[in-house]
């Protein structure tokens, strides 16, 4: 990190910034170069969605199943639980048994929800 | 040093945009995203206060705000799905059964 | 100079992206703008010396909550949304209210009393890293809020399963 006269600049994250700039410049540059050099002669058959030569059938935006939602919702909740585990793992050796017990209580409470979702067959795909 | 006021102005602007989006949009999903905008505005102000007061408690508060936002998103979107199942619409102004 | 330039870039990008989120017709576009917005907010947290929160912002908000939003947007077939009205008929009242709320915020800004400075100066945080400093505080002083957070997450699991699961039976 770097404290400049004007304030704080997260200089450690400069590689991340360079990575993101190069990545987005590569993507945008490829699209830009393509749009400059490719010939552009559209006609209706060409603009049609490609379905291996057949005319397209049905709507492109069909409705997703609710099963995706259940999985994503469980992912959100347990993602937050995992996020709580990161600082716990880092400070575990400094706090000791106290931290262990409180995290076990935390996980036990969430385990109740996990068992509930399991019993309600939220993990079953069919 | 970037003045603290600048961060508060930014947080106020994002919060106001969230309020405006919540009050004016018809699509209930966008209304819900506006709530997330407001929560993020609060997080920005909490973290900037925390930085200027050199105290980490604001960071922990915003940690809990993110936790509650995750729980709220899970429940709220489940409610939206139930509403859509019963009414086949996502427009908030068409849900007027309670209107006297 | 550089911190101010960074802040101004992030501030204008955040405001412009928030406006884009609430004004797009297509909810999928709103979600994508929100993704970019969350990345910018995470970068703003980095300039405020909160690197663990920047990581959480990306892991939880951009990685999990927005995926949930995207699934719901795609789950409800929203073809008609693109052609219909975006705003309620009384949209001017909402805009006025939001302007009034921000005016109240800005008027009270001058009277905020800033308390005494705490012990977590940037040097202290740099010496023991942000995650350790946060964890020490979170698992000692904020023990009860932390356990209550698990109950909130439990409510989220149970509530969402109860609300959304009915559909599978029918």
Which H, E and C letters describe A23-50, residue by residue? HHHHHHHHHHHHHHHCCCCCCHHHHCCC
Instruction: Choose among B1, B70, B77: nearest Cβ to A80.
Output: B70
What pLDDT shows up at residue C80? 57
Q: Give me the number of domains chain B comprises.
A: 1
In the 8-state DSSP scheme, what is residue B27?
B
Asked if the Cβ–Cβ distance from C102 to B12 is below 8 Å, we say yes
pLDDT tens by residue, B54-90: 888 899 999 999 999 999 999 999 888 888 888 777 7
Q: Does some domain include residue A98?
A: yes
Same domain, C65 and C133: no
pLDDT of C168 strictly over 50: no
Per-residue pLDDT tens for C18-44? 999 999 888 888 999 999 999 999 999
| Res B44 pLDDT > 60 | yes
C73 and C142 inside one domain: no
* Most confident option among A60-74, B29-43, C75-89, C122-136: B29-43
Task: Count CB-CB contacts under 10 A for residue A34.
Answer: 9
CA distance C13 to A15: 21
For B7: left if phi > 0, alpha if psi spans -120 to 50, otherwise beta; the answer is alpha
Give the global pTM. 0.88
Query: Is there a single domain that holds both residue C139 and residue C66?
Result: no
- Select from C83, C107, C135 the last residue of a domain: C83
Nearest to A8 among C122, C140, C161 (CB): C122
Q: What CATH number corresponds to the domain at position C8?
A: 1.20.120.1200
A 10 A CB-CB count for C129 gives 13
Neighboring chain C residues of A74 at a CB cutoff of 8 Å: 157
- Which positions in chain B touch C64 (Cβ < 8 Å)? 70
CA distances to A59, B79, B80, C80, C103 from B88, rounded to whole Å, are 18, 13, 10, 12, 38
**Is B99 within the bounds of a domain?**
no
Of A46 and C167, more confident: A46
**What are the angstrom distances between the C-alpha of C17 and each of B19, B24, B35, C38?**
15, 17, 15, 9
pLDDT tens, residue by residue, A41-70: 888 877 777 777 777 776 666 666 777 888
Q: Do C60 and A112 touch (CB under 8 A)?
A: no
Q: Is B91 helix (H, G, I), strand (E, B) or coil?
A: strand
Within its chain, how far is the Cα of A64 from the centroid?
A: 18
Question: What's chain C's average pLDDT?
Answer: 86
Q: Average pLDDT for residues A19-41, to the nearest whole number?
A: 91
- Is the CB of residue A8 less than 8 Å away from at least one CB of chain C? yes
Query: Please, what's the b/e burial string for A93-108 (b: 16 or more CB within 10 A of its CB; e: otherwise)?
Result: eebeeebeebbeebee
Instruction: Assess C81–B contact: CB distance below 8 Å, yes or no.
Output: yes
Last residue of a domain, one of C28, C61, C83: C83
Alpha-carbon span C131 to C50, nearest angstrom? 9
Structural domain includes residue B100: no
pLDDT at A27: 94
Q: Is A84 on the interface with C (CB under 8 A)?
A: yes
Question: Does C114 reside within a domain?
Answer: no
What is the dihedral angle through the alpha carbons of C125, C128, C129, C132, rounded to the nearest 10 degrees? Answer: -110
Full domain range(s) for residue A13: 2-47
Q: Establish if C120 touches chain A: CB-CB under 8 angstroms.
A: no
Q: Which residue of B has its CA nearest to C58?
A: B66
What is the pLDDT confidence band of residue A4, given thresholds at 50, 70 and 90?
low
Residue C135 located in a structural domain: yes
Band (A123; pLDDT cuts 50, 70, 90)? confident
pLDDT recorded at residue C170: 46
In this complex, which chains have at least 3 CB pairs below 8 Å with chain A? B, C
Question: Is A56 among the domain residues?
Answer: no
Return phi, psi of residue A61, to 5°.
Answer: -105, 75
Inside any domain, residue A61: no
Give the three-class secondary structure for A4: strand
Nearest CA to C34 out of C52, C19, C44, C48 is that of C19
Structural domains counted in chain C: 2
Across-strand partners of A8?
A: A3
Residue B83: CB partners within 8 Å, gap ≥ 6?
Answer: B28, B89, B90, B95
Q: Which one of C83, C114, C145 terminates a domain?
A: C83
In the numeric block, which tokens belong to residue C70?
């995207």
Q: Is residue A71 part of a domain?
A: yes
* Domain of residue B9, CATH code: 1.10.287.3510
ipTM of the complex: 0.91
Nearest-CA residue of chain B relative to A71?
B74
Are B37 and C18 an interchain contact pair (Cβ–Cβ within 8 Å)?
yes
CB contact under 8 A, A76 and B1: no
Q: Domains in chain A: how many in total?
A: 2
C146 touching A (Cβ < 8 Å): yes
CB contact under 8 A, A80 and B66: yes
> Considering the domain boundaries, does residue A32 fall inside one?
yes
For residues A43 and A76, membership in a common domain is answered with: no
In a domain, B84, yes or no: yes
Which of A69, A73, A78 is the mutation pick for testing B, counting most B CBs within 10 A?
A: A73
Residue C30 tokens read as: 């709103």
Give the pLDDT band (50/70/90) at residue C78: low
Domain enclosing residue B81, as ranges: 4-94
pLDDT at B63: 93
For range A85-101, the mean pLDDT: 89
| pLDDT tops 80 at residue A89 | yes
Residue B70, chain A, CB below 8 Å: the answer is: yes
In this prediction, residues A7-33 reach a mean pLDDT of 89
B73 in contact with A, Cβ within 8 Å: yes
The shortest CB-CB distance from C140 to any of A66, A81, A95 is to A95
Quick check: is A15 in a domain?
Answer: yes
Q: Same structural domain for residues C11 and C63?
A: yes
Q: How confident is the prediction for chain A on average, in pLDDT?
A: 84
Q: Does one domain contain both C64 and C131?
A: no
Whether residue C1 sits in one domain with residue C79? yes
Instruction: Identify the domain containing residue C19 by its residue range.
Output: 1-83
């Amino acid at each position: 990190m770097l404290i400049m006269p004007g304030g704080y600049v997260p200089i450690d994250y400069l590689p991340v910034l360079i990575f993101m700039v190069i990545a987005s410049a590569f993507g945008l540059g490829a699209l830009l170069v393509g749009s400059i050099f490719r010939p552009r002669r559209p006609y209706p058959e060409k603009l049609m969605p490609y379905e291996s030569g057949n005319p397209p059938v049905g709507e492109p935006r069909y409705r997703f199943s609710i099963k995706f939602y259940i999985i994503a919702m469980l992912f959100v909740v347990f993602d937050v639980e995992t996020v709580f585990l990161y600082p716990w793992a880092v400070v575990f050796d400094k706090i000791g048994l106290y931290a262990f017990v409180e995290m076990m209580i935390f996980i036990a409470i969430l385990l109740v929800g996990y068992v509930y979702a399991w019993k309600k067959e939220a993990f079953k795909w069919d | 040093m970037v003045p603290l006021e600048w961060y508060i102005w930014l947080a106020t602007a994002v919060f106001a945009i969230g309020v405006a989006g919540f009050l004016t949009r018809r699509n209930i999903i966008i209304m819900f995203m506006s709530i997330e905008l407001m929560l993020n505005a609060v997080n920005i102000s909490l973290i900037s206060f925390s930085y200027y007061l050199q105290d980490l408690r604001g960071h922990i508060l915003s940690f809990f705000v993110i936790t509650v936002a995750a729980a709220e998103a899970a429940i709220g979107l489940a409610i939206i799905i139930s509403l859509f199942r019963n009414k086949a619409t996502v427009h908030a102004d068409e849900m007027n059964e309670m209107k006297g | 100079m550089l911190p101010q330039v960074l802040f101004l870039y992030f501030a204008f990008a955040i405001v412009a992206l928030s406006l884009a989120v609430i004004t797009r017709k297509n909810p999928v576009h709103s979600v994508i703008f929100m993704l970019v917005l969350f990345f910018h907010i995470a970068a703003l947290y980095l300039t405020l010396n909160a690197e663990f929160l920047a990581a959480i912002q990306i892991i939880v908000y951009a990685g999990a909550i927005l995926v949930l939003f995207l699934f719901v947007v795609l789950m409800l077939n929203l073809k008609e949304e693109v052609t219909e009205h975006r705003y309620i008929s009384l949209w001017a009242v909402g805009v006025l209210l939001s302007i009034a709320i921000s005016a109240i915020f800005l008027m009270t800004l001058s009277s905020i009393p800033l308390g005494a400075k705490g012990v977590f100066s940037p040097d202290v945080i740099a010496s023991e890293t942000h995650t350790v400093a946060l964890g020490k505080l979170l698992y000692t002083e904020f023990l009860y809020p932390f356990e209550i957070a698990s109950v909130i997450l439990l409510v989220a699991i149970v509530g969402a399963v109860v609300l959304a699961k009915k559909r599978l039976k029918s």
